[in-house]
Amino acid sequence: MEEKYTAAGGEVCQVLTFKLADEVYGVDIMSVREVLDFSSVTKVPHTPDFMVGVINLRGNVVPVVDLKRKFKMGATEKGVNTCIIIVEVIIDGDSTILGALADSVQEVVDFEESVIEDAPKIGTQLNTAFIAGMAKRETGFVIILNVNAVFSMNEITALSAPAEQVPVQ
């Protein structure tokens, strides 16, 4: 059974909003470490097509994922507002730092719990587990992502493995 999305305090949720194509997405601000300008990434062979490469973040190798590719929306084109959102993903109690490529970052928004609806049920053929909730705004919806569910355990393991250990697909 899926639970309704709530913030840590239960009443107000702070969400960093960003754009992928023409849609507005968001992630709980507690998962966000920082936002970086998109400069260059080092490509790593034998990685999934949605992984654009890795960056050096203060001496640490951080995988960067193109969310548009992950969501089958095409590739992100580098533009003046293109950025990398550094997020902390927790899978089975282990923390992994990832970069998520976005067309642009919008703002941090406080959403009352009352304006956040459950992820839509679109039938059994479409997995919406990565959607934590849908926040209603005057201009439409913000799709709030569950960063811990966006990537499967196998994907996280492949992204976190040293390059020579990444499985060939």
User: Considering the entire predicted model, what is its pTM?
Assistant: 0.81
Residue 118 and residue 134: Cα distance in Å, rounded?
Answer: 6
Residue that wins the pLDDT comparison between 139 and 65:
65
Residue 20 and residue 5: Cα distance in Å, rounded?
Answer: 21
Phi, psi of 29 (to 5 degrees): -60, -25
Which pLDDT does position 67 carry in this prediction? Answer: 93
Helix, strand, or coil here: 3? coil
- Residue 97 pLDDT class (50, 70, 90 cuts): very high
Q: Give per-residue pLDDT as tens, 17-61.
A: 999 999 999 999 999 999 999 988 999 998 888 999 999 999 999
| DSSP-assigned states of every residue in 59-94 | TEEEEEEEHHHHTTS-PPPP-TT-EEEEEEEEETTE
Which pLDDT does position 123 carry in this prediction? Answer: 57
The neighbour count for residue 94, using CB atoms within 10 Å, is 11
Helix, strand, or coil here: 1? coil
Q: Give per-residue pLDDT as tens, 99-139.
A: 999 999 999 999 988 888 887 776 555 566 788 889 988 88
Residue 123 and residue 138: Cα distance in Å, rounded?
Answer: 27
Domains of the chain: 12-162 (2.40.50.180)
Taking residues 128-153, report their average pLDDT: 83
